[in-house]
Structure 1
């Protein structure tokens, strides 16, 4: 198997993504609870979207990143209609391994914080392996 070359994603890369919470984003809607507030799975998806956005400008052709590990503390409830912002910062790049810190905020309130680890992979080989494994 051919090694994926090291790609220079310098620590310090950042990105932010926003979400205005709708009924479809609530715990009741996604099945992670029965309350009408931003669901933890949606918080995680937003945090991951920020990590993807941070590397997108420098992504080599044919490559992508995939999530491999997440540590997330969901700290505050967010009602429908509020806008949350996910911030990702690349803190470590070790070959194909990329480690981000993430925070999700609602104004001055920290909604969630944690770490997301992603791996740089060849998109075509990754998909082919997944199909063979199923």
Structure 2
């Protein structure tokens, strides 16, 4: 997945810093989006995946107008319902911007969205 950094993606705009460069929260959102796509082959009917852990090092600043390509490498052998993806972001000049891991859990979509019973339920 490829993105161009805009003013809306900066640390200043997102409140995560005071410089006009790619914000870490936006970068993590892009990396997570790549894991959502990469998780699809591991999902059965009625399943989805949800993020459970993020370990990312943001190594290099990217200015507005810069291009970022993000990738998510799926696990070779999934561990049950946990999927750990190796993630990476590279800028237009080929420099590594970020590396890390993002974990997702495979869940039943309907069960996940159903609220737990409240106090007194079933009485």
- Give TM class, smaller chain: 0.7 to 0.9
Cα shift readout 1:45-98 (whole Å, capped 9, x = no counterpart): 111111111122553232110010110000000001111011110124111000
1-side partners of 2:96 and 2:80: how far apart?
A: 31
Q: TM-score, normalized by length of structure 2? A: 0.87
What is the aligned residue count? Answer: 116
- Distance in 1 between residues matched to 2:46 and 2:117, nearest whole Å: 18
User: How do 1:81-120 and structure 2 match up within 5 A?
Assistant: 81-91=65-75, 92-107=77-92, 108-120=94-106
| Distance (whole Å) between structure 1 residues aligned to residue 82 and residue 106 of structure 2 | 7
1:32 aligns with 2:16: yes
Give the TM-score normalised by the residue count of structure 1.
Answer: 0.80
The corresponding residue for 1:50 is 34
Extract unaligned runs of 5+ from structure 2.
Answer: 119-123
Larger-Rg structure: 2
Instruction: Show structure 1 runs of 5+ residues with no match.
Output: 1-16
Write out the 4+ residue segments of structure 1 that deviate beyond 6 Å after TM superposition. none
CA RMSD of aligned residues (A): 1.7
